[in-house]
Structure 1
Amino acid sequence: MDKRALAQALMDCGCIKVGHYKLTSGGFSPYYIDLRMVPSFPQLFREVVRAYLILLRKERVEFERVLGVPTAGIPLGVLVAHELGKPFLYLRMESKTHGTERLLEGELREGERVLLVDDVATTGGSLKRAVQVVRGEGGRVEAAAVLVDREQGAKELLKREGVKLLSVMTAREIFQELYTCKKITEKEYGEIMGYIEGRENV
Protein backbone atom coordinates (compact mmCIF):
# COMPACT_ATOMS: atom_id res chain seq x y z
CA MET A 1 0.00 0.00 0.00
CA ASP A 2 1.55 3.32 -1.07
CA LYS A 3 1.29 6.60 0.88
CA ARG A 4 -1.79 7.78 -1.00
CA ALA A 5 -3.67 4.53 -0.37
CA LEU A 6 -2.57 4.49 3.27
CA ALA A 7 -3.68 8.10 3.82
CA GLN A 8 -7.07 7.33 2.26
CA ALA A 9 -7.49 4.16 4.32
CA LEU A 10 -6.70 6.02 7.54
CA MET A 11 -9.31 8.66 6.73
CA ASP A 12 -11.91 6.09 5.65
CA CYS A 13 -11.49 4.29 8.99
CA GLY A 14 -11.89 7.52 10.96
CA CYS A 15 -8.25 7.72 12.07
CA ILE A 16 -7.86 11.12 10.38
CA LYS A 17 -10.49 13.77 10.99
CA VAL A 18 -10.83 17.31 9.66
CA GLY A 19 -12.53 19.98 11.76
CA HIS A 20 -11.70 21.96 14.90
CA TYR A 21 -9.94 19.98 17.61
CA LYS A 22 -8.46 20.91 20.96
CA LEU A 23 -4.98 19.52 21.58
CA THR A 24 -3.51 18.35 24.88
CA SER A 25 -1.29 21.45 24.74
CA GLY A 26 -4.44 23.59 24.96
CA GLY A 27 -4.20 24.86 21.38
CA PHE A 28 -6.49 24.05 18.48
CA SER A 29 -5.86 22.15 15.26
CA PRO A 30 -7.86 21.92 11.99
CA TYR A 31 -7.24 18.17 11.95
CA TYR A 32 -6.89 15.24 14.32
CA ILE A 33 -5.00 11.99 13.86
CA ASP A 34 -6.03 9.13 16.16
CA LEU A 35 -4.06 5.98 15.37
CA ARG A 36 -5.27 4.22 18.52
CA MET A 37 -8.13 3.03 16.31
CA VAL A 38 -5.83 1.23 13.87
CA PRO A 39 -5.81 -2.16 15.70
CA SER A 40 -9.61 -2.26 15.31
CA PHE A 41 -9.08 -2.71 11.55
CA PRO A 42 -6.92 -5.84 11.00
CA GLN A 43 -6.08 -5.22 7.33
CA LEU A 44 -5.16 -1.59 8.00
CA PHE A 45 -3.16 -2.67 11.06
CA ARG A 46 -1.13 -5.05 8.87
CA GLU A 47 -0.50 -2.32 6.30
CA VAL A 48 0.58 0.19 8.95
CA VAL A 49 3.04 -2.29 10.48
CA ARG A 50 4.31 -3.12 6.99
CA ALA A 51 4.93 0.60 6.42
CA TYR A 52 7.10 0.72 9.55
CA LEU A 53 9.08 -2.31 8.37
CA ILE A 54 9.69 -0.76 4.95
CA LEU A 55 10.82 2.48 6.62
CA LEU A 56 13.26 0.68 8.91
CA ARG A 57 14.75 -1.32 6.04
CA LYS A 58 15.11 1.81 3.94
CA GLU A 59 16.83 3.73 6.75
CA ARG A 60 19.00 0.73 7.71
CA VAL A 61 18.43 1.29 11.39
CA GLU A 62 20.35 -1.01 13.71
CA PHE A 63 18.97 -1.91 17.14
CA GLU A 64 18.65 -4.82 19.54
CA ARG A 65 15.24 -4.08 21.09
CA VAL A 66 11.97 -2.30 20.29
CA LEU A 67 10.16 -0.10 22.77
CA GLY A 68 6.51 0.93 22.47
CA VAL A 69 5.72 4.45 23.67
CA PRO A 70 2.35 4.59 25.47
CA THR A 71 -0.30 4.31 24.54
CA ALA A 72 -0.72 3.92 20.77
CA GLY A 73 2.92 2.97 20.26
CA ILE A 74 2.55 -0.21 22.31
CA PRO A 75 0.42 -2.33 19.92
CA LEU A 76 2.36 -0.98 16.95
CA GLY A 77 5.68 -1.72 18.62
CA VAL A 78 4.61 -5.25 19.59
CA LEU A 79 3.92 -6.21 15.98
CA VAL A 80 7.02 -4.46 14.63
CA ALA A 81 9.16 -6.34 17.17
CA HIS A 82 7.37 -9.62 16.39
CA GLU A 83 7.89 -9.26 12.63
CA LEU A 84 11.58 -8.48 13.13
CA GLY A 85 12.17 -11.15 15.77
CA LYS A 86 13.31 -8.52 18.27
CA PRO A 87 12.62 -8.40 22.02
CA PHE A 88 9.91 -5.91 23.03
CA LEU A 89 9.82 -3.38 25.85
CA TYR A 90 7.23 -0.82 26.82
CA LEU A 91 6.89 2.16 29.09
CA ARG A 92 4.24 2.66 31.71
CA MET A 93 2.44 6.00 31.85
CA GLU A 94 3.60 6.19 35.47
CA SER A 95 5.70 3.91 37.64
CA LYS A 96 4.09 1.12 39.64
CA THR A 97 3.59 1.67 43.35
CA HIS A 98 4.37 -1.99 44.04
CA GLY A 99 6.87 -4.63 42.93
CA THR A 100 9.86 -3.18 41.08
CA GLU A 101 8.25 0.28 40.73
CA ARG A 102 9.80 0.58 37.26
CA LEU A 103 8.62 2.71 34.36
CA LEU A 104 10.26 0.35 31.88
CA GLU A 105 8.80 -3.13 31.45
CA GLY A 106 10.92 -5.87 29.92
CA GLU A 107 14.57 -6.89 29.90
CA LEU A 108 17.17 -4.33 28.84
CA ARG A 109 20.89 -5.01 29.00
CA GLU A 110 23.55 -2.36 29.46
CA GLY A 111 24.55 -0.70 26.18
CA GLU A 112 21.81 -2.24 24.02
CA ARG A 113 20.32 -0.07 21.28
CA VAL A 114 16.59 0.50 21.55
CA LEU A 115 14.30 1.63 18.73
CA LEU A 116 11.37 3.71 19.94
CA VAL A 117 8.04 3.16 18.17
CA ASP A 118 5.12 5.58 18.46
CA ASP A 119 2.15 6.49 16.31
CA VAL A 120 2.36 10.26 15.88
CA ALA A 121 5.11 12.76 16.72
CA THR A 122 3.95 16.27 17.60
CA THR A 123 6.26 18.26 19.88
CA GLY A 124 8.32 15.19 20.81
CA GLY A 125 7.72 15.34 24.57
CA SER A 126 6.60 11.71 24.96
CA LEU A 127 9.48 10.45 22.84
CA LYS A 128 12.02 12.53 24.77
CA ARG A 129 10.69 11.07 28.03
CA ALA A 130 11.13 7.56 26.61
CA VAL A 131 14.71 8.39 25.57
CA GLN A 132 15.50 9.57 29.09
CA VAL A 133 14.00 6.46 30.72
CA VAL A 134 15.88 4.06 28.43
CA ARG A 135 19.17 5.88 28.92
CA GLY A 136 18.55 5.95 32.66
CA GLU A 137 18.31 2.14 32.55
CA GLY A 138 21.62 1.86 30.68
CA GLY A 139 20.27 1.52 27.15
CA ARG A 140 21.07 3.55 24.04
CA VAL A 141 18.57 5.31 21.79
CA GLU A 142 19.63 6.46 18.34
CA ALA A 143 16.32 6.39 16.44
CA ALA A 144 12.56 6.68 16.88
CA ALA A 145 10.00 5.60 14.27
CA VAL A 146 6.49 7.03 13.87
CA LEU A 147 3.81 6.70 11.24
CA VAL A 148 3.10 10.43 11.14
CA ASP A 149 5.26 13.45 11.93
CA ARG A 150 2.95 16.43 12.52
CA GLU A 151 5.98 18.70 11.88
CA GLN A 152 5.56 20.61 15.12
CA GLY A 153 9.05 20.37 16.58
CA ALA A 154 9.56 16.69 17.45
CA LYS A 155 12.29 16.14 14.87
CA GLU A 156 14.30 19.10 16.12
CA LEU A 157 13.81 18.23 19.80
CA LEU A 158 14.99 14.65 19.29
CA LYS A 159 17.93 15.78 17.18
CA ARG A 160 19.15 17.78 20.18
CA GLU A 161 18.98 14.52 22.16
CA GLY A 162 21.07 12.74 19.52
CA VAL A 163 18.07 10.77 18.24
CA LYS A 164 16.94 10.59 14.61
CA LEU A 165 13.18 10.79 14.03
CA LEU A 166 12.00 8.56 11.19
CA SER A 167 8.48 8.92 9.82
CA VAL A 168 6.48 7.02 7.23
CA MET A 169 4.62 10.22 6.34
CA THR A 170 4.44 13.85 7.37
CA ALA A 171 1.15 15.64 7.99
CA ARG A 172 1.87 17.72 4.90
CA GLU A 173 2.20 14.60 2.73
CA ILE A 174 -1.00 13.09 4.12
CA PHE A 175 -3.15 16.11 3.35
CA GLN A 176 -1.57 16.65 -0.06
CA GLU A 177 -2.60 13.09 -0.91
CA LEU A 178 -6.10 13.52 0.56
CA TYR A 179 -6.61 16.74 -1.40
CA THR A 180 -5.36 15.15 -4.64
CA CYS A 181 -7.87 12.31 -4.31
CA LYS A 182 -10.65 14.75 -3.31
CA LYS A 183 -11.09 13.44 0.23
CA ILE A 184 -10.90 17.00 1.56
CA THR A 185 -12.05 20.30 0.05
CA GLU A 186 -9.82 23.09 -1.23
CA LYS A 187 -10.86 25.23 1.74
CA GLU A 188 -9.96 22.48 4.23
CA TYR A 189 -6.66 21.86 2.45
CA GLY A 190 -5.76 25.57 2.54
CA GLU A 191 -6.59 25.86 6.23
CA ILE A 192 -4.58 22.76 7.12
CA MET A 193 -1.54 23.79 5.07
CA GLY A 194 -1.65 27.27 6.58
CA TYR A 195 -1.72 25.72 10.04
CA ILE A 196 1.22 23.39 9.31
CA GLU A 197 3.33 26.16 7.80
CA GLY A 198 2.43 28.50 10.64
CA ARG A 199 3.49 25.94 13.23
CA GLU A 200 6.83 25.52 11.45
CA ASN A 201 7.53 29.22 11.91
CA VAL A 202 6.59 29.39 15.60
Structure 2
Amino acid sequence: MSHARAARLGFAITSAWPQVKAKLAEEAALLLHRAQALLFGSFKLTSGLESPYYIDMRLIPSYPDLFERVCDVYCELIKAEVARFDRVAGVPTAGIPFATLVAYKLRKPFIYVRKQLRLHGQLKTVEGVLKPGERVLLLDDLVSTGDSALKTVRAVREAGGIVEDVVVLVDREQGARELLAGEGVRLHALLKVTEAARILHERGLLSREGYEVILSYVEGARVGPRPGG
Protein backbone atom coordinates (compact mmCIF):
# COMPACT_ATOMS: atom_id res chain seq x y z
CA MET A 1 0.00 0.00 0.00
CA SER A 2 1.35 3.46 -0.88
CA HIS A 3 1.90 6.04 1.86
CA ALA A 4 -0.55 8.40 0.10
CA ARG A 5 -3.30 5.77 0.03
CA ALA A 6 -2.57 4.86 3.64
CA ALA A 7 -2.91 8.50 4.64
CA ARG A 8 -6.24 8.81 2.81
CA LEU A 9 -7.53 5.76 4.66
CA GLY A 10 -6.29 7.02 8.00
CA PHE A 11 -3.63 4.37 8.53
CA ALA A 12 -0.08 5.18 9.57
CA ILE A 13 2.26 2.94 7.62
CA THR A 14 5.83 4.12 8.03
CA SER A 15 9.26 2.86 7.10
CA ALA A 16 9.63 1.87 10.77
CA TRP A 17 6.94 -0.83 10.58
CA PRO A 18 9.29 -3.68 9.51
CA GLN A 19 11.45 -3.01 12.57
CA VAL A 20 8.40 -2.72 14.83
CA LYS A 21 6.97 -5.93 13.38
CA ALA A 22 10.25 -7.77 13.98
CA LYS A 23 10.22 -6.72 17.64
CA LEU A 24 6.58 -7.76 18.02
CA ALA A 25 7.37 -11.11 16.38
CA GLU A 26 10.20 -11.70 18.84
CA GLU A 27 7.93 -10.80 21.74
CA ALA A 28 5.22 -13.15 20.44
CA ALA A 29 7.64 -16.06 20.03
CA LEU A 30 8.87 -15.64 23.60
CA LEU A 31 5.33 -15.30 24.96
CA LEU A 32 4.20 -18.48 23.20
CA HIS A 33 7.22 -20.35 24.51
CA ARG A 34 6.70 -19.07 28.06
CA ALA A 35 3.05 -20.14 28.02
CA GLN A 36 4.03 -23.54 26.60
CA ALA A 37 1.80 -22.79 23.63
CA LEU A 38 4.78 -23.53 21.35
CA LEU A 39 6.52 -26.80 22.11
CA PHE A 40 9.32 -28.71 20.40
CA GLY A 41 9.70 -32.48 20.37
CA SER A 42 7.73 -35.17 18.57
CA PHE A 43 3.98 -34.76 18.22
CA LYS A 44 1.35 -36.69 16.29
CA LEU A 45 -1.00 -34.45 14.33
CA THR A 46 -4.66 -35.16 13.57
CA SER A 47 -3.51 -36.24 10.10
CA GLY A 48 -1.50 -39.00 11.75
CA LEU A 49 1.80 -37.45 10.68
CA GLU A 50 4.60 -36.60 13.09
CA SER A 51 5.64 -33.00 13.69
CA PRO A 52 8.76 -31.70 15.52
CA TYR A 53 6.75 -28.85 17.03
CA TYR A 54 3.26 -28.15 18.31
CA ILE A 55 1.38 -24.86 18.63
CA ASP A 56 -1.66 -24.67 20.92
CA MET A 57 -2.89 -21.10 21.12
CA ARG A 58 -6.08 -22.28 22.81
CA LEU A 59 -4.05 -22.04 26.01
CA ILE A 60 -3.56 -18.28 25.69
CA PRO A 61 -7.06 -17.14 26.82
CA SER A 62 -6.46 -19.03 30.09
CA TYR A 63 -3.95 -16.31 31.01
CA PRO A 64 -5.84 -12.97 30.95
CA ASP A 65 -2.82 -10.65 30.88
CA LEU A 66 -1.09 -12.70 28.20
CA PHE A 67 -4.33 -12.97 26.23
CA GLU A 68 -4.78 -9.21 26.25
CA ARG A 69 -1.19 -8.59 25.17
CA VAL A 70 -1.49 -11.04 22.27
CA CYS A 71 -4.69 -9.31 21.16
CA ASP A 72 -2.94 -5.93 21.39
CA VAL A 73 -0.27 -7.32 19.06
CA TYR A 74 -3.00 -8.42 16.64
CA CYS A 75 -4.38 -4.87 16.73
CA GLU A 76 -0.99 -3.35 15.92
CA LEU A 77 -0.58 -5.73 12.98
CA ILE A 78 -4.05 -4.91 11.67
CA LYS A 79 -3.63 -1.15 11.98
CA ALA A 80 -0.34 -1.30 10.09
CA GLU A 81 -1.24 -3.72 7.30
CA VAL A 82 -4.99 -3.83 6.69
CA ALA A 83 -6.50 -0.89 4.81
CA ARG A 84 -10.17 -0.95 5.73
CA PHE A 85 -12.85 -3.31 6.94
CA ASP A 86 -16.29 -3.14 8.49
CA ARG A 87 -16.40 -6.27 10.64
CA VAL A 88 -14.10 -8.83 12.24
CA ALA A 89 -14.89 -12.52 11.82
CA GLY A 90 -13.42 -15.34 13.88
CA VAL A 91 -12.33 -18.52 12.13
CA PRO A 92 -13.72 -21.50 14.09
CA THR A 93 -12.86 -22.49 16.60
CA ALA A 94 -9.50 -21.36 17.95
CA GLY A 95 -9.68 -17.97 16.26
CA ILE A 96 -12.96 -16.92 17.85
CA PRO A 97 -11.70 -15.81 21.31
CA PHE A 98 -8.96 -13.68 19.74
CA ALA A 99 -11.29 -12.20 17.13
CA THR A 100 -13.82 -11.30 19.83
CA LEU A 101 -11.40 -9.24 21.91
CA VAL A 102 -9.66 -7.72 18.88
CA ALA A 103 -13.00 -6.59 17.44
CA TYR A 104 -13.87 -5.00 20.78
CA LYS A 105 -10.53 -3.21 21.01
CA LEU A 106 -10.85 -1.90 17.44
CA ARG A 107 -14.50 -0.99 18.01
CA LYS A 108 -15.61 -3.13 15.09
CA PRO A 109 -18.66 -5.42 15.02
CA PHE A 110 -17.86 -9.09 15.56
CA ILE A 111 -19.26 -12.07 13.67
CA TYR A 112 -18.22 -15.68 13.49
CA VAL A 113 -18.64 -18.58 11.13
CA ARG A 114 -20.00 -21.94 12.22
CA LYS A 115 -18.13 -25.08 11.24
CA GLN A 116 -21.44 -26.59 10.18
CA LEU A 117 -24.72 -25.10 9.04
CA ARG A 118 -27.18 -24.70 11.90
CA LEU A 119 -30.13 -26.98 11.15
CA HIS A 120 -32.66 -25.06 13.23
CA GLY A 121 -33.76 -21.47 13.70
CA GLN A 122 -32.56 -19.29 10.82
CA LEU A 123 -30.27 -21.96 9.36
CA LYS A 124 -27.28 -19.61 9.33
CA THR A 125 -23.60 -20.33 8.79
CA VAL A 126 -22.50 -16.80 9.70
CA GLU A 127 -23.62 -15.68 13.16
CA GLY A 128 -24.09 -11.98 13.85
CA VAL A 129 -25.09 -9.03 11.69
CA LEU A 130 -23.55 -8.97 8.21
CA LYS A 131 -24.90 -6.69 5.50
CA PRO A 132 -24.28 -7.39 1.80
CA GLY A 133 -21.17 -5.65 0.53
CA GLU A 134 -19.54 -5.16 3.93
CA ARG A 135 -15.81 -5.82 4.17
CA VAL A 136 -14.93 -8.57 6.62
CA LEU A 137 -11.51 -9.13 8.15
CA LEU A 138 -10.97 -12.78 9.07
CA LEU A 139 -8.88 -13.52 12.14
CA ASP A 140 -7.44 -16.85 13.25
CA ASP A 141 -4.73 -18.05 15.61
CA LEU A 142 -2.59 -19.67 12.91
CA VAL A 143 -2.66 -21.14 9.42
CA SER A 144 -1.14 -24.30 7.98
CA THR A 145 -2.32 -25.22 4.50
CA GLY A 146 -5.02 -22.54 4.59
CA ASP A 147 -7.94 -24.91 4.03
CA SER A 148 -9.85 -23.81 7.15
CA ALA A 149 -9.31 -20.14 6.38
CA LEU A 150 -10.41 -20.61 2.79
CA LYS A 151 -13.58 -22.41 3.90
CA THR A 152 -14.38 -19.43 6.13
CA VAL A 153 -13.62 -16.96 3.34
CA ARG A 154 -16.09 -18.73 1.07
CA ALA A 155 -18.76 -18.92 3.78
CA VAL A 156 -18.58 -15.17 4.42
CA ARG A 157 -18.64 -14.43 0.71
CA GLU A 158 -21.68 -16.65 0.24
CA ALA A 159 -23.38 -14.63 2.99
CA GLY A 160 -22.72 -11.42 1.05
CA GLY A 161 -19.52 -10.20 2.67
CA ILE A 162 -16.32 -9.09 0.95
CA VAL A 163 -13.16 -10.79 2.21
CA GLU A 164 -9.73 -9.62 1.10
CA ASP A 165 -7.61 -10.07 4.24
CA VAL A 166 -6.87 -12.81 6.76
CA VAL A 167 -4.83 -12.04 9.89
CA VAL A 168 -3.06 -14.68 12.00
CA LEU A 169 -0.40 -14.69 14.66
CA VAL A 170 1.56 -17.65 13.25
CA ASP A 171 2.05 -18.98 9.73
CA ARG A 172 3.12 -22.62 9.73
CA GLU A 173 4.38 -22.09 6.15
CA GLN A 174 2.53 -24.99 4.55
CA GLY A 175 1.03 -23.18 1.58
CA ALA A 176 -1.70 -21.01 3.11
CA ARG A 177 -0.35 -17.76 1.68
CA GLU A 178 -0.34 -19.11 -1.86
CA LEU A 179 -3.73 -20.81 -1.52
CA LEU A 180 -5.41 -17.65 -0.23
CA ALA A 181 -3.70 -15.46 -2.82
CA GLY A 182 -5.30 -17.64 -5.48
CA GLU A 183 -8.68 -16.55 -4.08
CA GLY A 184 -7.73 -12.87 -4.01
CA VAL A 185 -7.05 -12.85 -0.27
CA ARG A 186 -3.97 -11.41 1.44
CA LEU A 187 -2.48 -13.24 4.41
CA HIS A 188 -1.06 -11.08 7.21
CA ALA A 189 1.00 -13.13 9.68
CA LEU A 190 3.01 -11.62 12.49
CA LEU A 191 5.32 -14.59 12.74
CA LYS A 192 6.45 -17.54 10.62
CA VAL A 193 7.19 -20.73 12.51
CA THR A 194 10.76 -20.75 11.14
CA GLU A 195 11.18 -17.22 12.52
CA ALA A 196 9.90 -18.36 15.90
CA ALA A 197 12.39 -21.23 15.87
CA ARG A 198 15.25 -18.88 14.92
CA ILE A 199 14.35 -16.42 17.69
CA LEU A 200 14.19 -19.15 20.31
CA HIS A 201 17.44 -20.70 19.06
CA GLU A 202 19.19 -17.32 19.29
CA ARG A 203 17.88 -16.95 22.85
CA GLY A 204 19.26 -20.36 23.81
CA LEU A 205 15.78 -21.87 24.16
CA LEU A 206 16.10 -24.25 21.21
CA SER A 207 19.18 -26.26 20.27
CA ARG A 208 20.93 -25.91 16.92
CA GLU A 209 19.87 -29.45 16.06
CA GLY A 210 16.26 -28.68 16.99
CA TYR A 211 16.32 -25.53 14.88
CA GLU A 212 17.63 -27.41 11.85
CA VAL A 213 14.97 -30.09 12.31
CA ILE A 214 12.27 -27.39 12.20
CA LEU A 215 13.73 -25.87 9.02
CA SER A 216 13.90 -29.27 7.34
CA TYR A 217 10.37 -30.19 8.42
CA VAL A 218 8.86 -26.93 7.17
CA GLU A 219 10.63 -27.24 3.83
CA GLY A 220 9.28 -30.77 3.39
CA ALA A 221 5.77 -29.90 4.60
CA ARG A 222 5.19 -27.04 2.17
CA VAL A 223 2.17 -27.65 -0.04
CA GLY A 224 2.51 -26.73 -3.68
CA PRO A 225 -0.14 -25.05 -5.84
CA ARG A 226 -3.46 -26.91 -5.85
CA PRO A 227 -5.70 -26.60 -8.88
CA GLY A 228 -9.09 -25.13 -8.10
CA GLY A 229 -8.11 -24.17 -4.51
What's the TM-score once normalised by structure 1's chain length?
Answer: 0.95
Structure 1: gaps of 5 or more residues: none
Range with bigger deviation, 160-169 or 192-201: 192-201
Amino acid at match of 1:164: R
Moved over 6 A (4+): none
Corresponding residue SS for 1:177: helix
Which of 10, 13, 36 in structure 1 is aligned with 2:58? 36
- 2:144 aligns with 122
- 2:3 aligns with none
Give the C-alpha shift of residue 43 in structure 1. Answer: 1.7
Corresponding residue SS for 1:31: strand
In 2, Cα distance between equivalents of 1:99 and 1:155: 36
1:146-168 deviation line (CA, Å, top 9, x unaligned):
00000101001100110000001
Alignment root-mean-square deviation, CA = 1.3
What's the TM-score once normalised by structure 2's chain length?
Answer: 0.85
Question: Is the 2:87–2:108 contact (alpha carbons within 8 Å) kept by the matching residues of 1?
Answer: yes
Which of 61, 74, 89 in structure 1 is aligned with 2:83? 61
1:198 equivalent to 2:220? Answer yes
1:113-170 deviation line (CA, Å, top 9, x unaligned):
0000000100001110111111101110000000000010100110011000000111
Question: Is the 1:81–1:88 contact (alpha carbons within 8 Å) kept by the matching residues of 2?
Answer: yes
Question: Is the 2:71–2:101 contact (alpha carbons within 8 Å) kept by the matching residues of 1?
Answer: yes
Which of 78, 82, 92 in structure 1 is aligned with 2:104? 82
Amino acid at match of 2:50: F
Amino acid at match of 2:73: A
Aligned residues: 202
Structure 2: gaps of 5 or more residues: 1-22, 225-229
- 2:194 aligns with 172
1:22 equivalent to 2:57? Answer no
Higher relative contact order at CA 8 Å, sep ≥6: structure 1 or structure 2?
1
Give the C-alpha shift of residue 72 in structure 1. Answer: 1.1
1:51-82 deviation line (CA, Å, top 9, x unaligned):
11111111143100000011111000001100
Amino acid at match of 2:126: L
- 1:149 aligns with 171
